[in-house]
Amino acid sequence: MKRPYADKEKNKRARFNAKHPELAEKVKKKKQRTAYLKSTYGMSYEDYQRLYAIQGGRCAVCRRTSETYLSVDHCHETERVRGLLCRDCNWALGVLREDPLIALAMVRYIEDRCLPAKRKGPVS
């Protein structure tokens, strides 16, 4: 059964989108992001925004801000969301297979072979 005024609503939306393409694209991206967060992580867009605010808009590992968005990090065994990471830290965590022993071995490797002039100290 067709909803009453469905065509009218569709035409109204199309006129708005034609008149305001930048805003329409922004709304479309937010809807897509919202659907992705819900289907992939079981979280709402508001949950993501809350976590983003708690982290101060920064990656949970390196503390850098992101030009686009932060990736949702989650445990692949429990599916529990752990935090938000920048693309680089999320990639590195995957490459390290989320294994703390590999991560510690990597730290020791860097410490043992890094020139003192290159050392930056702990990330703040």
pLDDT at residue 121 greater than cutoff 90: no
pLDDT tens readout for residues 78-87? 989 999 999 9
Tell me: do 18 and 61 sit in the same domain.
no
pLDDT tens readout for residues 11-23? 777 887 788 888 8
- Residue span of the structural domain in which 14 resides: 1-42
Any domain includes 119: no
Arithmetic mean of pLDDT, 87-112: 93
pLDDT at residue 58 greater than cutoff 70: yes
Residues 92-120 as b/e (b if ≥16 CB within 10 A, e otherwise) read ebeeeeeeeeeeeeeeeeeeeeeeeeeee
pLDDT, position 7: 74
pLDDT, position 82: 95
How far is Cα 53 from Cα 46, in angstroms, rounded to an integer? Answer: 10
Tell me: do 32 and 69 sit in the same domain.
no
Tell me: do 61 and 31 sit in the same domain.
no
The number of distinct structural domains making up the chain is: 2
CATH number at residue 96: 3.40.1800.10
pTM for the predicted model, two decimal places: 0.70
Tell me: do 21 and 69 sit in the same domain.
no
Any domain includes 121: no
- Quick one: tokens of 43? 């979280």
